[in-house]
Amino acid sequence: MWQSSTLENGRSGAHIGKMAREQYESLLKCPMCGRTGLADMSDDKSHKTGDYDTRIESVTQGFEIKGKDVICSVCQVSAL
Protein backbone atom coordinates (compact mmCIF):
# COMPACT_ATOMS: atom_id res chain seq x y z
CA MET A 1 0.00 0.00 0.00
CA TRP A 2 1.39 3.41 -1.03
CA GLN A 3 1.41 6.36 1.36
CA SER A 4 2.48 9.90 0.64
CA SER A 5 4.90 11.64 2.92
CA THR A 6 4.62 15.13 4.35
CA LEU A 7 7.59 16.20 2.21
CA GLU A 8 5.87 15.12 -1.01
CA ASN A 9 2.69 16.93 -0.03
CA GLY A 10 4.69 20.05 0.79
CA ARG A 11 6.31 20.05 -2.64
CA SER A 12 3.09 19.66 -4.56
CA GLY A 13 1.50 22.48 -2.57
CA ALA A 14 4.38 24.80 -3.48
CA HIS A 15 3.74 24.30 -7.20
CA ILE A 16 0.11 25.42 -7.04
CA GLY A 17 0.95 29.10 -6.57
CA LYS A 18 3.67 29.25 -9.26
CA MET A 19 2.65 30.77 -12.59
CA ALA A 20 3.65 29.15 -15.88
CA ARG A 21 6.26 30.77 -18.08
CA GLU A 22 4.84 32.72 -21.01
CA GLN A 23 6.07 31.12 -24.26
CA TYR A 24 6.36 32.85 -27.62
CA GLU A 25 8.33 32.98 -30.88
CA SER A 26 10.60 35.83 -31.90
CA LEU A 27 11.67 36.62 -35.46
CA LEU A 28 15.42 36.51 -36.07
CA LYS A 29 17.21 38.42 -38.83
CA CYS A 30 20.93 38.82 -39.39
CA PRO A 31 21.68 42.48 -40.17
CA MET A 32 24.67 41.47 -42.31
CA CYS A 33 23.54 38.56 -44.55
CA GLY A 34 19.75 38.82 -44.19
CA ARG A 35 19.29 35.22 -42.94
CA THR A 36 15.96 34.85 -41.12
CA GLY A 37 14.63 32.34 -38.62
CA LEU A 38 12.71 31.90 -35.38
CA ALA A 39 13.61 31.66 -31.72
CA ASP A 40 11.38 29.89 -29.19
CA MET A 41 11.50 32.04 -26.04
CA SER A 42 9.87 32.23 -22.63
CA ASP A 43 9.42 34.88 -19.93
CA ASP A 44 8.85 34.59 -16.20
CA LYS A 45 8.19 37.68 -14.09
CA SER A 46 9.92 37.79 -10.71
CA HIS A 47 7.43 38.40 -7.91
CA LYS A 48 10.14 40.02 -5.75
CA THR A 49 11.68 42.53 -8.19
CA GLY A 50 9.12 42.71 -11.01
CA ASP A 51 11.89 42.00 -13.55
CA TYR A 52 11.44 39.50 -16.37
CA ASP A 53 13.67 36.45 -16.78
CA THR A 54 13.78 35.80 -20.53
CA ARG A 55 15.07 32.45 -21.78
CA ILE A 56 15.92 31.48 -25.33
CA GLU A 57 14.73 27.88 -25.53
CA SER A 58 15.69 27.00 -29.13
CA VAL A 59 16.54 28.57 -32.50
CA THR A 60 16.23 27.49 -36.12
CA GLN A 61 19.20 26.15 -38.06
CA GLY A 62 21.70 28.84 -39.00
CA PHE A 63 21.57 30.57 -35.60
CA GLU A 64 23.23 29.94 -32.24
CA ILE A 65 22.30 30.78 -28.65
CA LYS A 66 25.05 32.74 -26.89
CA GLY A 67 23.99 33.53 -23.33
CA LYS A 68 20.95 35.83 -23.61
CA ASP A 69 21.57 36.59 -27.29
CA VAL A 70 21.11 34.80 -30.61
CA ILE A 71 23.80 35.16 -33.26
CA CYS A 72 24.00 34.27 -36.94
CA SER A 73 26.17 31.16 -37.30
CA VAL A 74 27.93 32.56 -40.38
CA CYS A 75 28.36 36.27 -39.55
CA GLN A 76 28.69 35.91 -35.75
CA VAL A 77 26.55 39.02 -35.09
CA SER A 78 23.36 39.43 -33.04
CA ALA A 79 20.18 38.52 -34.89
CA LEU A 80 17.63 39.51 -32.21
Across the range 9-15, mean pLDDT stands at 45
pLDDT of the residue at 22: 82
Band of pLDDT at residue 43, cut at 50, 70 and 90: confident
SS3 state of residue 14: helix
pLDDT of 13 over the 50 cut: no
Q: State mean pLDDT over 61-80.
A: 96
- What predicted TM-score, i.e. pTM, was given to this entire model? 0.65
* Phi-psi category of residue 62: left, alpha or beta, with phi > 0 → left and psi -120 to 50 → alpha: left
pLDDT of 38 higher than 90: yes
Judge contact between 26 and 58, C-beta under 8 A.
no
- Quote the CA–CA distance of 11 and 1 in Å, as a whole number: 21
Q: Which residue has the higher pLDDT, 44 or 75?
A: 75
| Residue 13, helix vs strand vs coil | helix
Ranges of each domain in the chain: 27-80
The CA distance from 44 to 52, in Å, is 6
